[in-house]
Amino acid sequence: KNQVEQSPQSLIILEGKNCTLQCNYTVSPFSNLRWYKQDTGRGPVSLTIMTFSENTKSNGRYTATLDADTKQSSLHITASQLSDSASYICVVSARGNQFYFGTGTSLTVIP
């Protein structure tokens, strides 16, 4: 069964600290993996997209890693800011235009 699981479910960190969010998937055949940020009441916004051959991709303070062998990905946020408070969603695409969404990690950054 194609599934995407994320951990932790929620996370609270102090402003300025780093954090890492995890994503495990069983989607096959794998096409690509995306991390989205979803602010409360808004649509998801893409942060990174990674293919099978990519191990690391950065977008500013966001760095995503992908291990296609173990089917794991992480999203590392450095020097967190209050505006980073949001849900972070891991989305795995199978060939054939199908997306599988994780339930997200709710991140709260406090001053």
Residue 58: beta bridge partners?
63
CB 6 → another protein: shortest distance, Å? 8
Cβ closer to another protein: 89 or 109? 89
* Nearest distance from C-beta of residue 87 to another protein, angstroms: 9
Nearer to another protein, 66 or 89 (CB): 89
Q: Specify the residue for token string 């602010």.
A: 39
Q: What is the DSSP letter of 46?
A: E
Query: CA-CA distance, 20 to 23, in Å (whole number)?
Result: 10
Closest separation between CB of residue 2 and another protein, Å?
11
CB closer to another protein, 47 vs 77: 47
Instruction: Closer to another protein by CB, 31 or 78: give it.
Output: 31
Which residue has 């794991």 as its token pair?
72
Q: Footprint of another protein on this chain (CB under 8 A)?
A: 31-32, 36, 41-46, 49, 51, 89, 93, 95-104
Of the candidates 16, 38, 55, the residue with the CA atom closest to the CA atom of residue 47: 38
Other Cβ atoms less than 10 A from the Cβ of 42: the count is 10
